[in-house]
Structure 1
């Protein structure tokens, strides 16, 4: 079976590794163009491109795929590469470009998507983040037959994964990436798969994470804030202000307490206790601007926080 692969970040690279390990022929990889990254803002290849280059697989990096759009020249070149690849199927994982109908129609078995949620919950760009943020008890991987809609295609395989009380997006991402690789290999090796339309009920959208969302609203409940801290780890993190300084809060524990939102209620050995709209949080991992994230106890040695002071004051 000839499998064209389209994906960009590490989540997708894990699936590409699984396909290659299972012995599938991958004649072509599509991935996003190299982007500036790091302190020097040098162009950096995506995780998928790095894997493809290491494996000697040709790579196409169109900026767009609409044949009549702004990047029509790129799209035409990608079309020629896809035709030459003569694919039985295309596997798509976190690619970052919407596939127009001409792409969906090209492979003989169509296009299969590895989506990191239990569809139809959390269609869209950030399903792992949003599942943790919402306090969901479980999530998973859906292998989907792609159509022209946004994550609306028929489901082929579903794997379920519990969301643990201490899961961050980084930790859950790795478990789901491994599951995605396993399930896509199973889907391609199966003699036949039942196509199940997605339910019409329970549809939610995992909108892209915006940096503006990172500011902590102490009027929220302790549970809501704690879930968001884990959802936004490692990106973009959650920020609050203390004595005019921007502080990132990475970890916190829900504790008993009540007071004006943002008020410091106490100082435990593991960090300050801060009132929320309902309940309280003990902040256990903090980061000052320009510093490294670390235990709140070390933060308190450098900058004591007193009972009665306020965050976001």
Structure 2
């Protein structure tokens, strides 16, 4: 029995999350015929034009790279159509694909989405899953249509969200899991065994884009809500509180066990300072700050931050 012919694939992606799936395709029997990624953007203190992580990998492998500002333009669409692809794989690309583009490849466009759809459609599924306290998430391979993450599901692989997970650790795990799901889906596509499943519209939730404003901690909330927010907003935009009228970023914290049973203190009050961290009262229970970052400094253990300051009984927020 002969093996099926390799698929001719256009890959579309931009950030770090997209790099592992592109590498997985490069390591597979399939042929990546072109890479689409966002135009180079200013980055860093010098605001120098910088290539996306996906472009950097594509150039290492001498792949043709296309960086249109939009795919609604007729010339860009003609350029893509001329590639005559079997499939387009889209991973956090960042541009809207109009219907004419979605229909161009022989098998359409497959997307790797970082949640178990239809939960957490939209821009920030990893962060919102942690913030909401979901016990698990996963990746969905989806046949793209014109809606926002509304297409039929082709493959779903779940993973547990651990109490220690931050958006960064979960991001890294889901990126790798997405590779497994993608290759499994391509294998089933070639074998004629794909079974698309419609999303249940009654179960839809939206993962709205993150903002710096919502990273400000409200100490009147309970300790569980606050620690989830701290982990969800690591590494961006990073949760913060106010200390002496300056932002104090909080990179890592933990719930102080059984603190909800102790007499309630004023939310935001520093109630103890020890080598294992700074304990702060919340609306219910308390948090132990483990790693913080004052303005103009690097992140540091919370105890080191406390050494030069009389923090006990100080008010945060």
TM-score (norm 1): 0.95
**C-alpha deviation, 1:183, in angstroms:** 1.1
The 5-angstrom pairing of residues 1-313 of structure 1 reads 1-66=7-72, 75-190=73-188, 191=191, 192-255=193-256, 256=259, 257=262, 258-306=264-312, 308-312=313-317
Structure 2 distance, partners of 1:245, 1:108, is 56
**C-alpha deviation, 1:266, in angstroms:** 1.7
* Contact 1:28–1:82 under 8 Å retained in 2: no
Gaps of 5+ in 2: 1-6
SS of residue in 2 equivalent to 1:184 = helix
* Contact 1:163–1:172 under 8 Å retained in 2: yes
> CA RMSD for the aligned pairs?
1.0
SS of residue in 1 equivalent to 2:247 = strand
Q: Deviations over 1:30-72 (max 9, x none)?
A: 1111111111111110011111111111111111122xxxxxx
SS of residue in 1 equivalent to 2:203 = coil
Structure 1 distance, partners of 2:272, 2:304, is 16
* Contact 2:241–2:247 under 8 Å retained in 1: yes
**C-alpha deviation, 1:201, in angstroms:** 2.1
Structure 2 distance, partners of 1:81, 1:58, is 12
Displacement over 4 Å in runs of 4+: none
* Contact 1:110–1:145 under 8 Å retained in 2: yes
SS of residue in 2 equivalent to 1:201 = helix
Structure 2 distance, partners of 1:291, 1:175, is 29
Structure 2 distance, partners of 1:303, 1:2, is 61
Moved more, 271-280 or 121-130: 271-280
**C-alpha deviation, 1:76, in angstroms:** 2.9
**C-alpha deviation, 1:104, in angstroms:** 0.5
Structure 1 distance, partners of 2:207, 2:114, is 11
* Contact 2:273–2:306 under 8 Å retained in 1: no
